[in-house]
Structure 1
């Protein structure tokens, strides 16, 4: 597939014009014109790039790319090593941050909801990035914890009464712990996200609303995989998801 066609297709699919983001969305580093093999991953680390190149990728698509707001501008150190690896191998880097969180089908929130069996019926928080769902029947916090552990392959950090009955689940993947208050205001019985802050324990205790930190990386693995699978089924592109494990 032509790189320019791929860029236009992805930008339109993920509706990047809707978002005021912390980084540029789309093609961040230009490589070769023809894309036959696409590797997807969560973060464009050196380890990920090396694995993609070993597979023979022409392009990589990630959730966490480069050029974040307020980062230092000089291309030195780790930034130099990453960019050198891309440029020396003529490898394209596509990155989509908030658009990949928010997409109603391929987004991280949509994908984790699908895997958990949560059908969203409301949104909350800034830009309505938080999702809410009503469970078919109440379950305990301990039961939900086991389900999340089985789905994501890691044990979440949990604040709340294990025996509490839950009916409304709020979630937002990644580092969305600052949305806990918004989830509470929206009527959630439990809020699931990737990371946690010190204040969360107190908020959970004082509000009675449970909180689960299931891992930034673990909660954001599914969006890029869904997009890569969609591209491989729609176009003449081979796809490989490269999972560089991260406990955070």
Structure 2
């Protein structure tokens, strides 16, 4: 995998492990890493901080367009800033998780963030980008395109562990299943599109999932 230019697109539902697995795959590929979900969370934090009415689609789109957003693409350094404010930890708070679908389902906001994501990908050289519409909208011509999925039971369990057991079963259901249902109205991330390899991690541990993703990358990148 010594290609000077390598774009790996990974999509998947909440709790499928796509962030941690994509980040580790990027390390092993000597590539940058883009968490597009963090971008959506960051602009959601921005809207909430600015008092933007999340029910006003035009206001949300306008807020996203003017957002001064920085996101690190170093897989070993997570950093997200909005207008210079470090929101790396804040965007993972439940109040952002509860609100992010209002931005993620806004078509104008999605178009603006997709534009920014393409700019980051184009400038990176080698990068693993993950999200919900990377394989189909943001980077449909990526060298490797992968849908990372898992059963609902596995996804709820993983998200609960990720949050340190602080969320109730109802909260997890709302943040994982309900959010996926909302986001699925504007992007497809439950079934692989043509040419997209599927990796089901339901019965795989972390290392096995990383290896499965790297194998899918190798198979697709060589034939690209």
How high is the TM-score relative to the length of structure 1?
0.22
> Between Structure 1 and Structure 2, whose CA radius of gyration is higher?
1
The structure with higher relative contact order (CA 8 Å, sep 6+) is 2
Higher strand share: 1
